[in-house]
Amino acid sequence: MSTMHCSLLSLGCVFGFAVTEKQATLTALRAFKIAQRRLKPEVRANLLSASSARTDVTLVPTAWRFVFLDTATSGHCRVVTVAAKTSSEHPDTVEAFSSAKVEDVLTLHPVAQDKLLIDSGEVLEHARALTKLKHLQAVEYRLAQPHTGSDPLWEVHFYTEEQAPVATFQVNARTGEAALASKAS
C-alpha cells in the first residue's frame, strides 16, 4: 500500500529518512526537528511535551513521542512519533507510548524552544554525574515546561531490571543544571 492510501486516523502516514553512520543515535533534538517537518508552521512552535523510554543497559532511546498543541483538532493536540527510521502522526488522539505517561493537554504549556539547548544524551550524562547508580535497566525521559514560566525541564526516571524505581532527576533544558528530585531507599 502506498503512503497516499494510508489512513491518517488508523495507520498514520509513514515517511522514512536515511540515518548516516554519524547520526546513528536518535537524540531528542534530532527527532524534534524531524517531527516539526510533519506539521503546519503554526503548530510547530507549540511543543507541549517530549517523552521516550528505553529498557536496556545503554539507556539510549530509539524513538521519541512529541505532543504539539493544535486547537484545530478534536483532541487539541497532534502527536508525532519519531523512531530510528520513520515518523508518524496521530492527529486526534494522545496514545500511550511505552511506559511514558499520557498527558493532560489542557494543563501543559508550550515549551520555550529558544531555551531548549540540552539534548537527551547530555541529560543522561548530567543525571549520571550526580550519582553512581548501578544495575539500571530502564529509563524514562520527559520534557515539559513548568507552570512557573522558568526554563523547560527534563525529568529522567531510572528503574532496575525489575522495574523498581531507583531515582528521578531534573535537568534544566537551557543550562544543564541537574538535581536529584527523588531517590528510592
Indicate yes or no: pTM above 0.85.
no
What does the pLDDT read at residue 24? 65
Q: Which residue has the higher pLDDT, 56 or 115?
A: 115
Phi, psi of 103 (to 5 degrees): -80, 150
Query: Which stretch of 27-41, 95-109, 121-135, 161-175 has the lowest confidence by average pLDDT?
Result: 95-109
**Residue 148: left (phi > 0), alpha (psi -120 to 50), or beta?**
alpha
Q: How many CB atoms lie within 10 A of CB 61?
A: 25
Find the mean pLDDT for residues 98-107: 48
Q: What is the mean pLDDT of the chain?
A: 75
Secondary-structure breakdown of the chain: helix, strand, coil percentages, each rounded to the nearest 5: 20, 35, 45
Find the mean pLDDT for residues 33-49: 90
> Judging by beta carbons within 10 Å of its beta carbon (0-12, 13-18, 19+), is residue 174 exposed, middle or buried?
middle
Using the predicted structure, report yes or no on whether residue 98 has a pLDDT greater than 50.
no
Confidence of residue 77 (pLDDT cuts 50, 70, 90): confident
Helices H / strands E in the chain, number of each: 3, 9
Rg (CA), the chain: 16
Q: Which residue has the higher pLDDT, 17 or 158?
A: 158
Confidence of residue 83 (pLDDT cuts 50, 70, 90): confident
Q: What is the DSSP letter of 150?
A: S
CA distance 123 to 104: 24
Annotated domain spans of the chain: 3-183
C-alpha cell at 75: 483532541
Percent of the chain clearing pLDDT 90 (strictly above)? 25
